Amino acid sequence: MITNTKGRYGFLVSIITTLCDFVLLNAVYFYVLHGNKMVGQFNEDVVWIFLNISYVPAILLFSDVHNKRILFVDRIMVMLFQVLIVHVLVMMSLVTLAGYDDIPIRIYVVFYAIFYALLLCWWIISRKIVKFFRQRGLNFRRIIIAGWNGSSKRLYQEIESDSGYGYRIIGIFDDAKHKDIKINGELSDIEGFIKENNVDELYCALPSEEDNVGNLAKIADNYDVAFYYVPMISGFMTTTFDLTSFGNIPVLVYRPNPLRHLHNRLLKRFFDIVVSLVAIGVAACTILIPVVIAIKVSSKGPVLFKQKRTGYKGREFTCLKFRTMKVNQEADTMQATKDDPRKTRVGDFLRRTSIDEIPQFLNVLAGSMSVVGPRPHMVKQTDEYKKLIDRYMVRHMIKPGITGLAQVHGYRGQTKELWQMEKRVEYDVMYIETWSLWLDIKIIIRTIINAVKGEKNAF
């Protein structure tokens, strides 16, 4: 049975999932490599042993994938890729040293493609299974919180939001009484509580200058309890933080931006180019010519509408769209409305289906936009809203997008009231702080679904 006994069964879960990794590894080996005449002349048993040996350092280096209780799909995908990179390097080294270097590359490509897909599915499913048991009170960790303030409240809410994390709060301690939460005792009562209860982890949310912090850390050491310090950052609760270091000094990074890292920017750029080329290719083979003809027939003017908008780091760029309105003088200053008389019949359809945005894939290829990101606003809007909305300019920390997190949550079209733009900014900032390739993929899928259904706010 999976239960809670100072992590012993959590360790058992890791062992079982890792053993299943090896089962998949060997299953793919026998399917792809065993008996394959294209592999060449070699001792199959030796290569089979090399495959298994190579997985040991790979999974040990990234053991968090089976140990961490809170891990999202995008992070799992990255860690799996890292595991396979290590496996490939070790495997290639062993095979080369043994003289078995005549195995065609395409065999390895097929092997690792199948192994990646199956292992990803298994890792996600295994975490779902363990989460299922944790939600039913098994394999949980018993924790206590020292100090009750903004930081500990946020921690409490995060833990209580999902029982599948496998944490159970069994005590909260503070020297003051609070009406909003049950306090189990004062800080001086913590040691006695730990003695009488099977506590796994202690989260301390006290000011760092207090002597109690050091004392609680010592108590945790004496009773084999994991000690975690929760920084007093309740005044910044509208954002998230990353932990880094300056030399040997730990530093909290305010408003993390994954796209500050070069490898993430390169990954997103590669993804943008691939998606844009596919989108332009599909459009050219299907709807491009009919759309161009329809625009030209519906009203006088160019096929493409060009407008100056605010982009990356506040720089202006020329945003492209299929023209959906009659040529007018207010195009750069007035938002489109639901029953806007400037719209053509063809333009109304193009807006409702988001087909008018297709030329922006050229902006993506040119590097001024991304497929997913905060929507670029007219320069006039930027000048107006940056004075009215906190964090408005934060949305320009990355390239603007054809679609975005705010748009798939229904915040698109005309903004009649200030709160509507504030919600857009909120989602834009959330996207910047939590970016991942998997998030981009999900947003694109939801955008396509919304476009097919037709959106009431698209006008």
The one-letter amino acid code at 56 reads: V
Q: What is the pLDDT along the chain (459 residues), one digit of tens a residue?
A: 334 444 445 567 778 888 888 999 888 888 887 655 544 445 667 778 888 888 888 877 766 666 666 666 777 787 888 888 888 888 888 877 877 666 677 777 888 888 888 988 888 888 888 778 777 777 688 899 998 888 888 888 888 877 777 788 899 998 888 888 888 888 989 999 998 888 988 999 888 766 788 889 899 888 888 888 887 765 555 556 667 766 677 777 767 788 888 888 998 999 999 999 999 999 999 999 999 999 988 888 899 999 999 999 999 999 999 988 877 666 655 666 566 677 788 888 888 888 899 999 999 999 999 999 999 999 988 999 999 998 899 899 999 999 999 999 888 777 778 888 999 999 999 999 889 888 999 999 999 888 877 666 554
**CATH number, domain containing residue 212:** 3.40.50.720
Q: Are 432 and 373 in contact (CB under 8 A)?
A: no
Give first-to-last CA distance, the chain, whole Å: 57
- Whether residue 275 is found in the same domain as residue 359: yes
> In sequence order, what are the residues at sequence separation of 6 or more whose Cβ sits closer than 8 angstroms to the Cβ of residue 8?
none
- Whether residue 299 is found in the same domain as residue 373: yes
Give 240: exposed, middle or buried? Use CB within 10 Å, 0-12, 13-18, 19+: middle
Question: Number of structural domains, the chain?
Answer: 3
Give 155: exposed, middle or buried? Use CB within 10 Å, 0-12, 13-18, 19+: middle
- Whether residue 57 is found in the same domain as residue 157: no
Distance CA 74, CA 264 (A): 12
The DSSP element (H or E) to which 292 belongs, if any, is: helix 288-298
* 24 occurs within a structural domain: yes
Instruction: Give me the helices (H) in 62-203, please.
Output: 64-67, 73-98, 105-135, 150-160, 190-196
Q: Are 135 and 77 in contact (CB under 8 A)?
A: no
Buried b (16+ CB within 10 A) or exposed e, 290-326: ebeebbeebbeeeeebeeebbbbeeeebebbbbbbbe
The token pair that represents 356 in the structure block: 């008018």
Q: Which of 135, 165, 197 is the last residue of a domain?
A: 135
Instruction: Look up the domain containing 309 and give its range.
Output: 260-453
Distance CA 386, CA 381 (A): 8
* 321 occurs within a structural domain: yes
- Whether residue 354 is found in the same domain as residue 399: yes
* 250 occurs within a structural domain: no
Q: Which of 116, 135, 154 is the last residue of a domain?
A: 135
